[in-house]
Structure 1
Amino acid sequence: MKHGLMLFTDTFGTDAASKEVLDWSLEYVREAERGGWDEVWTTEHHFTSVVQNPSAVAMAAFLLGRTSLGVGTAVAVLPNHHPVALAEQTALLHHLSDGRFTLGVGRGQPRVDLEIFGDGLAGYTDITAKLTSLESTLRKGGFDDVRVVPEVPERPPIALSVASVSSAWLAGQVGVPVILAPFASLADKRAMLDAHAEAAAENGHRIDPAENIDSTYFAIGDTTEAAQQLLVDGVRALVLRGAPGSRPLIEQPEMTPESAGAMARQVVGHFVAGDPDECARQLAEREELLGAGRIILMPEGAGSREAVLATVRRAGPEVFSQQ
């Protein structure tokens, strides 16, 4: 299994300047390259001071020139982009990186960026046409009678982020692998993969299960209890912060400290957290159950720059080396 590091560009609720926050991410990448990680993954968020990267593809392009690791997007928000333009950018990065780039796309969150860049809630609700167009353009090397330049002799790596059986079915129907969302339980992820495989078979697609990608929040501690508490505290703080500055398109009840704490305690069991031996055991369990060939690990859920660095540095020699 390949181990990928998610870069959220999280401020952790501080008033750190954007340059400082982005420099933190570059430090995580340097530590990952030294520490035995295989990949780094970038995100896309708009109009919020909490996570400060509005272009997953642009940051991925930058990192491809700064590291020898694989680089992916998790995710480029598909409703915000023209699928043929994304295909062109993917072809370019595929060539310039000698195949180290993976385009991960998803529907994003129902926030104001979807109205500014896309079709609002309608585009968020139904991504079928855009996903189909993106996959077809990359597979055929063109759109209608227009050729993609630079040309791609075979479809570069692409995956759809899914958090439900219906989204997994869509990915299988179109013929692309999936990125399993971090908050889902292992049982729910297995159900998504089963639906994905069934849809792929029904539509004549052959997708190797190892092409699918798992994702989870991740913390290493001296004890399992300490690592789990790091994630409970970090996720609770993350949920309470929300996305200030980015207006939601669907109003939701405001989280209280009590409800955020209850939610964090409920989902921590879905994550990889523990002492090094326990983390290695959990990763092996996920690999056996899900069969995914890659996993995106999210240490920024631990709630501080120091906790992220500790987990990134310890992961290779203490956890990955056991697999």
Structure 2
Amino acid sequence: MTAFGLMLFTDTFGGDVPSKEVLDWSLAYVREAERGGWDEVWTTEHHFTTVVQNPSAIAMAAFLLGRTRLRVGTAVAVLPNHHPVALAEQTALLHHLSDGRFTLGVGRGQPLLDLEIFGDGLAGYRDIEEPLALLESTLREGRAKANGQRFAFDEVRLVPDPPERPPLALSVGSAASARLAGRLGVSVILAPFASLADKRVLLDEHARAAAAHGHRIDPGDNIDSTYFAIDDTTESARQLLIDGVRALVLRGAPGSRALIERPATTPEAAEAMAREVVDHLVAGDPDECVRQLRERRRLLGTGRVILMPEGAGSREATLRTVRRAGPEVFARVAAAAAAPGGSP
């Protein structure tokens, strides 16, 4: 069975909205998700930009674990911004306090100013193997010791005790990142905008690397992600995501300086990108969303999918999708999977 997770971006949708109001919107999405049959909620980390309002995936996850009975994950905690042993400690603590409902998703983040302020700048962005290996081994062994280029210290014990199975996943958007996760025996979170064919390639790269290094990773432990919109017609749902993605691309991250210079995106380029990627996202009337989610599970074999309804571009559209998803889509996906001869 597929577990359905709500991504919580804390998006302002381009408006000049007070932080408290935006965070209240986000908590409303979570309340509706818990009432409506969602299984999980996932938190993000962004710094110094008013476009989104959550600088700490871990802090938000801890709050939601205490306020709900949902499973909660981070997608992602930006690995270059955090000491891996501190992340391991926080993961162990949240695991025990929540009776195993927490998953730590990490990633390299984006090449923005926060990497210079909190970490090693572009060097930390480009090479995450050392911190990821230290994080994984600390969670797996319950002890940490390092003698590398970035981390060097004598052995210490992880307190609280580590989870029996490290609840750890790496966000991947390239074959190199997928292979890194495989080498270390870590599950993956697939980036949202890639096609299903490209995601299948990443999963195959991941599986080959894992097998070559003696790891057995259940495909169901890997996690898909995608933007998501439900509306009365498939055409109108697709248009919601086209408009939302276009606005997202044009907004960028005002207030946070990029560490790699890139040309400004034109409105025409943003429109073209949005129209191209919408074919890779889940958008439609309820029947079409059921079909697409079943097809993703059949092709990818992932056991969890992170869905991003804030991509629809407004608070109202987000709430509509969150409310309709459980009874009109998820329940039907589950019923189809449970039927004789049904696929998961």
Tell whether 2:34 aligns with 1:6.
no
Cα deviation, 1:82-110, whole Å, max 9, x if unaligned, reads: 00000000000000000000000000000
**Structure 2 residue matching 1:65: 3-state secondary structure:** helix
Q: Which residue of 1 aligns with 2:292?
A: 282
Name the amino acid aligned to 1:84. V
* Deviation at residue 155 of structure 1 after TM alignment: 3.2
**Displacement after TM superposition at 1:152 (Å):** 1.9
Matched, 1:245 2:255: yes
After superposition, the C-alpha distances for 1:197-236 in whole angstroms (9 at most, x for unaligned) are: 0000000001000000000000001000000000000000
Once superposed, which parts of structure 1, at least 4 consecutive aligned residues long, lie more than 4 Å away?
none
CA separation in 2, counterparts of 1:19 and 1:97? 26
Residue 256 (structure 1) shift? 1.2
CA-based RMSD of the aligned residues comes to 0.6
1:210 aligns with 2:220: yes
Assess if the C-alpha contact under 8 Å between 1:94 and 1:156 holds in 2.
no
CA separation in 2, counterparts of 1:29 and 1:229? Answer: 24
- CA contact 2:92–2:163 (8 Å) conserved in 1: no
| SS in structure 2 at match of 1:267 | helix
Q: Name the amino acid aligned to 2:162.
A: V
2:242 matched to 1:232? yes
Please report the TM-score for the alignment, with normalisation by the length of structure 1. Answer: 0.99
- Report the counterpart of residue 166 of structure 1 in structure 2: 176
Aligned to 2:304: 294
Give, as a single letter, the amino acid of the residue that structure 2 aligns with 1:193.
L
**Aligned ranges for residues 1-323 of structure 1 at < 5 Å?**
1-144=2-145, 145-323=155-333
Give the gaps of 5 or more residues in structure 2: 146-154, 334-344
Amino acid at match of 2:181: A
The answer to whether the 8 Å contact 2:136/2:184 transfers is: yes
CA distance in 1, matches of 2:206, 2:81: 24
Hey, what's the Cα distance between the residues in 2 that align with 1:155 and 1:177?
12
Would the aligned equivalents of 2:51 and 2:253 in 1 still touch at CA under 8 Å?
Answer: yes
Aligned length in residues:
323
Q: For 1:313, give the aligned amino acid.
A: R
Q: Gaps spanning 5+ residues in structure 1: where?
A: none
Give the TM-score, by structure 2 length.
0.93
Distance in 2 of aligned mates of 1:153 and 1:302: 36
> Does structure 1 conserve the Cα–Cα contact (< 8 Å) formed by 2:228 and 2:282?
yes
Identity %: 79
Counterparts of 1:173 and 1:75 in 2: how far apart (Å)? Answer: 20
